[in-house]
Amino acid sequence: MKIELKNISKSFGSLKANKEISISISGGIHALLGENGAGKSTLVKIISGQLNPDKGSILISDKKINLGSPKIAINNGIGMLNQNPLDFANLSVLESFLVGNTQNSFMSNNHKTKEEILHLFDNYNIEIDLNEKISSFSIGQRQQIELLRLLYNGVKIIILDEPTSAFSLEQKKMIFDTLKKLTKEDITIIFVSHKLDEVFEICDSGTVLKSGRVVYSMHKPFDSDSIFAKMFDDTRTKNKITNKEKRSDKFKLFIDELDKTKQETFSNESLIDFGTVVGIAGLQGSMNDKLVNNFFSRDFSKTGIFFDNGDYIDKEKLYYMPADRLERGLFEDLTLKEHFALSYSNRSKYLNWNDIEIYGEKKIQEYDIKATITQKVDQLSGGNQQRLMLSLLPESPGVLLLEQPTRGLDFNSANKMWDIILHRKKNDIAIIFSSTDLEEIWDYSDIIISVSGNTIVNIESKQNLNKENLARYVSGILD
């Protein structure tokens, strides 16, 4: 199915999210690339009818369609698979298929519908009880159900908005196979991502957006260097881990949640140098974040950090940064100044706003936060919020416990984040971080803990590990 975007423009206040975007896709899988804030999500929201553009038109099979209504988009065969499954936790699978989809006011003909849906599930070799509640499935399964729902509705154009973050390797492979199969049935797929390897694997053509404009159009075979150059201002090479100054002291990392049956294969008490970076690798939804949190809450029955001589590391030396920036890390409606005051105030009972301002300005400089001190946190971009969170950790050396420190950040912001973390590392006792991005784990860790689901399957220093095995550990294939 052919889809053409013509001169799509959309502004939010003074921010021009999309500027005169024109793309023509005649079929296959088309990648939509760009760093955070490049305008990808605005564009897909316009295509799927959730946003009305200021200007421009969309043509499907050379026919102009009306914009700005999800219903019209659906009727024109446009469906979207969101980053997180956009479904209804308390509804059954069958009900979820029916929402917004029944013509009759009474849901009488359920039996026939049920047969059709079961048949569709059969075609894709998925066994699912249609009466089961959506909430009882994993995020990956929920995405599969959503994808099948779109097919059931007869979509001809599917938009996938970074859908793979929640998938296990197997599920990802299955989805990719499905997508390839679908292109043979004249279904066009728009694949939004910033993971270049995935794009190279399955896409036939692509468009790179930057600051709301189309800066590059491409077709297979792709040239990764020029894509990279177009996506980012400066193609800085990844941070190199500087050789840490060896300090003589060591400390112990104690973990007691290993798979009991395999306990003998690795020691659960590791002796670690000061300044070590420990990466906890796991897929979305695995216990990798919880493990980081465990160190912080000093749930000593299971995990702990202590010095070689057996003393626990002082609680005040454990600095924790949660994964959900706005849920648990920052206060959306407070200004930066107020945040600095909160992290600064334990030094005196009264707030000295002058001092706080000086302190804050210094931090803003040091952590490269693009904002003024009087701005509210919800006006900041993800990268700036993340750096702000890091800047709020105490300056004195400690153990940094970072839950997914670069979650949702694009390449540049993530790199900047690691610049700062590695800079801090020189003085810190250790850094323990979790991530679902195996590249990140591999690039920055000295010791890697691999987690699959709710079990730790492997603890190993990086020298003794190879990347392929890491991927296998994490997806539970190897244990």
> Which residues are CB-contacts of 187 (< 8 A; sequence separation ≥ 6)?
1, 155, 156, 157, 158
50 binds other proteins (CB under 8 A): yes
87 binds other proteins (CB under 8 A): yes
12 binds other proteins (CB under 8 A): no
Cβ 160 to other proteins, closest distance in Å? Answer: 14
66 binds other proteins (CB under 8 A): no
Q: x/- string (CB under 8 A) for other proteins, residues 104-133? A: xxxxx-------------------------
Candidates 55, 88, 201, 379; binder of other proteins (CB under 8 A) is 88
> Which residues are CB-contacts of 456 (< 8 A; sequence separation ≥ 6)?
255, 257, 258, 259, 291, 449, 450
Region of residue 139 (phi > 0: left; psi between -120 and 50: alpha; otherwise: beta): alpha
Cβ 181 to other proteins, closest distance in Å? Answer: 24
71 binds other proteins (CB under 8 A): yes
* Measured CA angle at 472 (ends 466, 478), to 5 deg: 105
99 binds other proteins (CB under 8 A): yes
Cβ 74 to other proteins, closest distance in Å? Answer: 5
> Which residues are CB-contacts of 59 (< 8 A; sequence separation ≥ 6)?
2, 3, 4, 6, 65
Question: Three-state SS string across 174-187, please?
Answer: HHHHHHHHHHHCCC
* Measured CA angle at 34 (ends 33, 37), to 5 deg: 140
Residue with tokens 């699978």: 93
For other proteins, the closer of residues 71 and 236 by Cβ is 71
301 binds other proteins (CB under 8 A): no
For other proteins, the closer of residues 50 and 217 by Cβ is 50
Please choose, out of 31-39, 95-103, 410-418, 465-473, the segment that lies near other proteins by the rule CB under 8 A: 95-103
For other proteins, the closer of residues 82 and 183 by Cβ is 82
Cβ 75 to other proteins, closest distance in Å? Answer: 8
Cβ 53 to other proteins, closest distance in Å? Answer: 14
Does residue 36 contact residue 82 with C-beta atoms inside 8 Å? no
Q: Are strands 55-60 and 3-12 parallel, antiparallel or unpaired?
A: antiparallel
Measured distance CA(379)–CA(331) in Å, rounded: 12
Cβ 382 to other proteins, closest distance in Å? Answer: 17
Strands (E), 170-219: 188-193, 205-210, 213-219
Candidates 13, 14, 62, 100; binder of other proteins (CB under 8 A) is 100
Cβ 292 to other proteins, closest distance in Å? Answer: 19
Q: Which of residues 145-164 bind other proteins (CB under 8 A)?
A: none
101 binds other proteins (CB under 8 A): yes
Q: x/- string (CB under 8 A) for other proteins, residues 407-436? A: ------------------------------
Does residue 150 contact residue 73 with C-beta atoms inside 8 Å? no
Rounded (10°) CA dihedral 142, 145, 146, 150: 180
DSSP-assigned beta bridge partners for residue 213: 210
Cβ 290 to other proteins, closest distance in Å? Answer: 12
For other proteins, the closer of residues 107 and 326 by Cβ is 107
Cβ 18 to other proteins, closest distance in Å? Answer: 16
Longest dimension (CA), the chain: 75
Candidates 91, 130, 139, 422; binder of other proteins (CB under 8 A) is 91
Residue type, 445: S
For other proteins, the closer of residues 89 and 271 by Cβ is 89
Q: x/- string (CB under 8 A) for other proteins, residues 302-321? A: --------------------
Computed on alpha carbons and rounded to an integer, the radius of gyration of the chain in Å comes to 25
190 binds other proteins (CB under 8 A): no
Candidates 66, 102, 239, 343; binder of other proteins (CB under 8 A) is 102
CA dist list (Å): 111 to 94, 103, 114, 117: 10, 15, 5, 10
Q: Which of 254, 243, 304, 299 minimizes the C-alpha distance to 276?
A: 243
326 binds other proteins (CB under 8 A): no
Please choose, out of 33-41, 48-56, 328-336, 354-362, the segment that lies near other proteins by the rule CB under 8 A: 48-56
For other proteins, the closer of residues 153 and 217 by Cβ is 153
Does residue 434 contact residue 280 with C-beta atoms inside 8 Å? yes
String of b and e for 276-290 (b: at least 16 CB within 10 Å)? Answer: bbbbbbbbbbbbbbb
379 binds other proteins (CB under 8 A): no
Cβ 190 to other proteins, closest distance in Å? Answer: 16
**Total of chain residues touching other proteins, rule CB under 8 A:** 26
Please choose, out of 64-72, 119-127, 161-169, 455-463, the segment that lies near other proteins by the rule CB under 8 A: 64-72
Q: 111 phi and psi, to 5 degrees? A: -65, -45
For other proteins, the closer of residues 104 and 248 by Cβ is 104
Tokens linked to 65: 């369609």
Residue with tokens 């499935």: 137
Contact residues toward other proteins (CB under 8 A) are: 48, 50-51, 69-71, 74, 80, 82, 86-91, 95, 98-102, 104-108
